[in-house]
Amino acid sequence: WSAEHLNAWQNLDFSIKTGNSSFEEIYKKPYFDFLNDNPDKLHAYHKAMYQYAKDDYKRLPDVIDFGKHKSVMDVGGGYGAVLENIKAKKPNVECVLFDLPKVIDRVTNANIKKTGGCFFDKIPNQSEAIILSRVLHDWNNEKAKLILQNCYEVLPNNGVLYVIENCTDKIKIDLSLLSLNITAMCESYERTTIEYISLAQNANFCFQVDIKLNELQTILIFKK
């Protein structure tokens, strides 16, 4: 994960004492702003995330019947691995990828509709279902709630939100070091199922059910 992670961990005492990001303390900007200012590092990050996602979410279209939706948007979906898996199983579903323009510009899959923007500003009103796959864990409660509120605003009535996360209470593996890394890098942490549900309910979503995806990830399903 390159020198920036090492530097953040060498100053881990700052995060432990304050709960704030040691990365941001060192580099004077949030981690994702740093990536956005360094195109090569941003590309390397999203290539890595793409490879993780292709494997981690390969069973997603088998666990969830996305065919019941005319359209699905992956918000903060990087290079589109989640939607590629869905499109391969459900070719009639319109798949919309939403991420920053400089990320979207590198996506070449012609079967996926691409829309650039920032999920802290406004999400386009284009789909009846939204996926947030390992997005919320990168942000503190205040920013995570803003993302959820923006998702809520653009979903139609009875629209569905799929949140995919490593819910700590659903996993036998100890995620303490991973959570600590997220604190050091992003000023967030790995949450429990109840904590994610609470965040979504604070954005007016109604919790429906949770479904185990694999050894690590759980799908939390909400409705507007």
Query: What is the spatial distance between Cα 197 and Cα 136, in angstroms, rounded to a whole number?
Result: 12
pLDDT at 125: 84
pTM, entire model: 0.95
pLDDT at 126: 79
Helix boundaries (H) for the chain: 2-10, 12-18, 22-27, 31-36, 39-56, 60-63, 81-89, 101-104, 141-154, 176-186, 193-202
Contact indicator for 127, 75 with CB cutoff of 8 Å: no
Query: What is the spatial distance between Cα 118 and Cα 139, in angstroms, rounded to a whole number?
Result: 14
pLDDT at 1: 66
Query: What is the spatial distance between Cα 82 and Cα 99, in angstroms, rounded to a whole number?
Result: 13
C-beta neighbour count of 112 within 10 angstroms: 20
User: Which residues does residue 132 pair with via DSSP β-bridges, in sequence order?
Assistant: 163
Residue for token pair 């000023």: 187
Helix axes 2-10, 39-56, angle to 10 degrees: 90
Which pLDDT tens digits describe the chain residue by residue (224 residues)? 678 999 999 999 999 999 999 999 999 999 999 999 999 999 999 999 999 898 889 999 999 999 999 999 999 999 999 999 999 999 999 999 999 999 999 998 989 999 999 999 999 887 999 999 999 999 999 999 999 999 999 999 999 999 999 999 999 999 999 999 999 999 999 999 999 999 999 999 999 999 999 999 999 999 99
